[in-house]
Structure 1
Amino acid sequence: MPALFPSGKKKFLHNLCCNLARFFISSKPLVILEAYTPFHLEHFKHVIHLLSEMDEYNIVVITPNGKDLNELKNVQAYKTINEYPIYKKADAFISTDYNKIPHWFSCPTIYFGHGIGPKLDYVARDELLEFDFVFSPYRPAYELQIQNLPKERVIPVGLPILEDKSSRQQEIIEFYQFDGSKPLIIYAPSWCSDTTKISDIKTILAFLSTKKQFNIVVSPHPLLFDKNRCKGEDFFKNNNKIKLLHINTPESQFTTLDLVKASDIVISDISSILFEAMALKKNVLLDGNKDLYEHCNALKIYDEIIKFCPVPCWNNNEDLTIEHAIELDTLSKQRELFINNYLFNSGNASKIFIQQLSEILKHG
């Protein structure tokens, strides 16, 4: 058997079942979208809805929390790849992460870069070589990726999630019982595998807790809630200094992007959300974590954005950087020039995503 089927018994069985099933099921191309976390799924949702409306494809979504997607036309969700029926022949497989590609699939594979934070130590890892194509969202990532892959395999696409213009502002105000006349500040710290590079979150929270004239929501990266991934550090529980702040947990009904869309000021570090906020024309402040940019090989980008993303003095409760930014935003043009050069296909990424997918399917 190994000599006859060197790619494995499961691949042989998959191909056999698929060939038989094609006599009885839809002949539309079948596209598998894999998103292992709810956060990653959000980056696919706008594309999924557009593909569903087109009625030209069958779409399978592999994600732990995609039950509601089954209500869409031509869309079916499975919690894991192991639940995916072996008789269904995939025509393209697209993943948001460097997870191992199922070895029995015989179709084009695509890595979809799902964020635009400049973690340049991550965007061109060796695992990228396992994919046939890369959908790249922003210029610095693209420039690194084409050093390791043939240029024709790395496609500038952009970030489709930014095209969903829906707003949940009123829901957010009502949920948190906010005074709607106060500006809304969102602080979104990110996680790092080297925990010594995580921002000084507790000092920043203590500073923000003194700003009673604002509505403030802290929306951390989900891994910041996992003490095992933060060397036992508990940033948000049993901290009397943050009683006046609202913490948006991974179980919340609001994504960080929902909060950003409703915000007046966004504060972050190297997180994609900082750059997404710029793309949404939000007023943005840095938390000043230069070490994290250095760790991610992105010092050049830090040196550029520090010119138009001020950093409050977190140890000084009298600092008025936030107040001045609320009163008069004098840096919006500089942010706009930067993000327009940084992000691919702003406002048009979903269309480009689907066009490029169609081309890949056409040529097999």
Structure 2
Amino acid sequence: MFKSINDKSWLWCKYYRKLKSRALCLLHQLTSIFYIRHKVIFYSPAAFQANHVLPVINNLVVDGVVSVVLVGSFDKIKGCDYYSKIDDLPFFGKYSLYIATDLCFPPAWMSVKTVFFGHGVGPKLDYQSDSSLRYFDYSFTACRPIHEVHKKSGISLVKVGLPILDNLGCVNGMGNGLNSTLNKPLIVYAPSWSGDSKRISPLCKILTALEVVENYRVIVSPHPNFFREGLSREFSGLENSNVKLNYPDSGVSTYEMCMQADVVIGEISSVVFESMAIGRLVCFDGNEKIYKLSGAASVLECFKKSVPVIDWEMDIDSQLDQAMSDTQWKEKREVFIRDYIFNVGEATNIFVKAIYKIIKI
């Protein structure tokens, strides 16, 4: 008897919450007709994700056709409204489009079209196959492998590309003492993070090899989550070595670092493919397991044919010297990335036009 009462109470609470949500949604729809100006919301839970949509935001601000609302880990931009949390958004307003760089959704009361724009082009296809993707109305895709995976979700797809690649001249200075010994070519090693330790590259082995490199200066720029998740101990030994460590609070993103580099070393991180697109020599650190566990074995086979693969047991200087002098890698890299990333150099305009089309401007 007691259990039955509890069950009925639980069902009533569930029904009440659903009814309340629908009522608020209807009220929001009705009140939005009193507002003329469309509002486009960009939500990004991390700064490194936010960087991928900044060219689009800047373009919308210059156009002045819609109001731009930023939520999450954005720097404040003149002409945009800013809120630190999605729940802080005002109830009243003509919210026309919600664009998220992660699998996060707007409040239940908000009657709005939703767009998923996954941050970057790293082929972590198991993440891109998440079942919650189907709750978005659209996916703006940046590269072919992710586009093919998103087809299975049944939502509307738009091939936009990666806006961050459109303005290659907009790079911050290196700063913070990272540009010492400028007479040597620069290597940037950019290991990606995973909650599954089996997917992380053998950092101890790789860092030990990089510490004895002589002909190049080396900067290690790890994924910010290494520092958030208490895994920075992997890099603690670099403090007294010739290898420099780029911390998340340095003011220089890994992407900006790679734009200054002569050689970029990595595995599945988006910056590896972005670096290929901007013409940097990219080398694979050999971590095949992360591709296979991410459902990207087919991408791996094409990738390995397009870049040198580092053997960490052999002399690193001689391998890099040979890779830099071998002109075949430039052509192979260009062929690969041309097929991999959509609309290089045009992504921002295509992204903005897609926004206007959805909200019928």
- TM-score normalized by structure 2? 0.89
Query: 1:216 corresponds to which residue?
Result: 218
Change (3 A) 1:198 1:242: farther
1:136·1:156 contact (CA, 8 Å) conserved in 2? yes
Structure 2 Cα separation of the partners of residues 11 and 51 of structure 1: 31
Change (3 A) 1:178 1:39: same
Change (3 A) 1:318 1:211: closer
Change (3 A) 1:128 1:14: closer
Query: 1:178 corresponds to which residue?
Result: 180
Alignment of structure 1 residues 188-337 onto 2, 5 Å: 188-228=190-230, 234-237=233-236, 239=237, 243-317=241-315, 320-337=318-335
Query: 1:89 corresponds to which residue?
Result: 94
| Alignment counterpart, residue 165 of structure 2, candidates 143, 162, 174 | 162
1:209·1:242 contact (CA, 8 Å) conserved in 2? no
Flag the structure with higher helix content: 2
Amino acid of the residue matched to residue 246 of structure 1?
A: K
2:213·2:316 contact (CA, 8 Å) conserved in 1? no
1:33·1:95 contact (CA, 8 Å) conserved in 2? yes
1:113-145 Cα offsets, whole Å, 9 max, x none, are 221111111112101011011111111111111
1:158·1:343 contact (CA, 8 Å) conserved in 2? yes
What SS does the aligned partner of 2:127 have? Answer: coil
Structure 1 Cα separation of the partners of residues 256 and 238 of structure 2: 27
| Alignment counterpart, residue 9 of structure 1, candidates 17, 20, 24 | 20
Q: CA deviation at 1:326?
A: 2.7
2:306·2:332 contact (CA, 8 Å) conserved in 1? yes
Q: CA deviation at 1:342?
A: 0.8
1:216-249 Cα offsets, whole Å, 9 max, x none, are 1111111222455x5xx72111x16862111111
1:205·1:242 contact (CA, 8 Å) conserved in 2? no
Change (3 A) 1:88 1:300: same
Change (3 A) 1:279 1:320: same
Amino acid of the residue matched to residue 100 of structure 1?
A: F
Change (3 A) 1:211 1:3: closer
Q: CA deviation at 1:48?
A: 0.4
Structure 2 Cα separation of the partners of residues 299 and 242 of structure 1: 38
Stretches of structure 2 lacking an aligned partner (at least 5 in a row): 1-11
1:73-96 Cα offsets, whole Å, 9 max, x none, are 3x1111111221111231111111
Amino acid of the residue matched to residue 49 of structure 1?
A: N
Q: CA deviation at 1:204?
A: 1.0
Amino acid of the residue matched to residue 272 of structure 1?
A: S
Structure 2 Cα separation of the partners of residues 6 and 314 of structure 1: 57
What SS does the aligned partner of 1:254 have? Answer: coil
Query: 2:117 corresponds to which residue?
Result: 112
Q: CA deviation at 1:250?
A: 1.3
Structure 2 Cα separation of the partners of residues 279 and 255 of structure 1: 17
| Alignment counterpart, residue 55 of structure 2, candidates 46, 63, 83 | 46
Runs of 4+ in 1 over 6 A off after TM superposition: 1-6
Q: CA deviation at 1:212?
A: 2.9
Change (3 A) 1:14 1:149: closer
1:8·1:104 contact (CA, 8 Å) conserved in 2? no
2:25·2:111 contact (CA, 8 Å) conserved in 1? no
1:270·1:292 contact (CA, 8 Å) conserved in 2? yes
